[in-house]
Structure 1
């Protein structure tokens, strides 16, 4: 297998050159309607192509939400394949938001779907769920290292329901979320020893400042922190230093509706993404 330069290295370069921002590609029915598009394959393709053409050459990361393509069956998956390929060809890193989680050969198959360069859905990174046990993710973690791709593990998500699992305390006194962050820190040790960003990241909501106030040290995993919640969910770039503390430089804020609501005008999409990226740069610089 021919591997890429490690994902963490590529991500750091993209964040430095293009700004630390991830924009979702979330073609749900309401957003297609807001764009004046039909909720069908033609609307899906028009929406996705517009986002890619407007943003793939400018933002660090694009994050297609697989479910919004899967709902159209095989034709939707074909659109997703083209979206991923065109976004990567234009220079964006593609994070597939699939949140897969299973065991054994099934997890290995999920990993191959998104992280094997021979796959039609090959992406630069994928989101995964660790709640069948962190060890169940090993096929994806190993393939990511082999292929130069990345993995983002759900740790402290922004949805309120997540707390019943993620904030649960183990017998050793550590929360489930802190345990996941500790595992990721260990995965990234090699890169950290060389002063590089690791390729194993965590999903940590930007809206969780109160619950994270006493746990900021746990966020220093030496890898990227994907932070949903900026924009429509209420968090702002100015909140990032308070939530992430010393790890704020490794944060990749995710904005979806806050940017996508400006479509289908490509110039408006670009302007919105650039505004969010500038706000994040300013917040990170101010925290340095």
Structure 2
């Protein structure tokens, strides 16, 4: 890692221009491993990941390993994950570690170091994090992302229905006039991300997220907004374009959201969206050629 390299937002913007807005999930569900003729062990996980990387390289912007499936296989599973992250980066893919880490103080700093330091075994380009111990608890992760030119995707409006109980809860604190987006928990999270992306410079003095997708810029600190819950942002007064966060959108394909629904739901924020597809693509395996066809079909629909 060089401090002269662009930040995550800039790298993601470049990947959008080159490969489109698709992210392929690496989710080795035990049932999928069985369907692919692979064992639910380190060797099976490694082979599963390698086939997806082969299919996605040069065709998708990013891959997103779901960390839990590797953790469940113990030391061997985590060793397989380290290999997959390294191989994906070597293949030119951005890697988002879907670990949803959230803690405070030195513990959060240790999580960020583990997942964002490119010299570490699990060093990814970006990490999913949870702000529900208070957004300020993410400060060590934000600092690590800036130090290592990495990115964060902060859980905001997730696709699970029960998430709305917390995410759309009204905040008791007085909200300044015109700041309606901060009146809900998710709106407050979005406003905090906006402040980081617009106010904090990258280490070399360049603007955070400098490099455009079309006429827009992407910040290094992004949000997770489900493909099926994106309309809740506008109906709740949340401006997803403020600060130009990258928007990681799970829920396309097998979970029901179509490309047309994505474009409509995200509206003017659509150019910021990284669309994740997992099952809809992975169920077409195990042959790499079939995975490639599924990726290309998704890309065509998203364009």
TM bin (shorter chain): over 0.9
TM-score if structure 1 supplies the norm length?
0.93
Task: Give the alignment of 1:113-152 within 5 angstroms.
Answer: 113-152=114-153
Partner residue in 2 for 1:185: 194
> Structure 2 vs 1, CA of residues 138 and 26 (structure 1 numbering), >3 Å: closer, same or farther?
same
Partner residue in 1 for 2:166: 165
Structure 1 residue ranges without an equivalent (≥5): 282-288
Given that 2:104 and 2:138 are in contact with CA atoms closer than 8 Å, whether structure 1 keeps it comes out as: yes
Note if 1:256 corresponds to 2:278.
Answer: yes
Partner residue in 2 for 1:286: none
3-state DSSP class of the match of 1:74? Answer: helix
3-state DSSP class of the match of 1:154? Answer: strand
- Report how far residue 193 of structure 1 moved: 8.2
Superposed CA offset, 1:61-113 (max 9, x none): 00001110011111111100000000000000000000000000000000000
Q: Provide the rounded CA distance (Å) in 2 between the counterparts of 1:184 and 1:157.
A: 16
Which stretches of structure 1, 4 residues or longer, exceed 4 Å deviation after superposition? 192-195
Structure 2 residue ranges without an equivalent (≥5): 176-182, 199-206
Superposed CA offset, 1:253-273 (max 9, x none): 110001100111101111111
- The number of residue pairs the alignment matches comes to 281
Note if 1:235 corresponds to 2:257.
Answer: yes
TM-score if structure 2 supplies the norm length?
0.89
Partner residue in 2 for 1:40: 41
- Report how far residue 191 of structure 1 moved: 3.6
Q: Provide the rounded CA distance (Å) in 1 between the counterparts of 2:260 and 2:105.
A: 42
Partner residue in 2 for 1:203: 224
> Structure 2 vs 1, CA of residues 176 and 89 (structure 1 numbering), >3 Å: closer, same or farther?
same
Structure holding more helix per residue? 1
Given that 2:154 and 2:223 are in contact with CA atoms closer than 8 Å, whether structure 1 keeps it comes out as: yes
> Structure 2 vs 1, CA of residues 39 and 139 (structure 1 numbering), >3 Å: closer, same or farther?
same
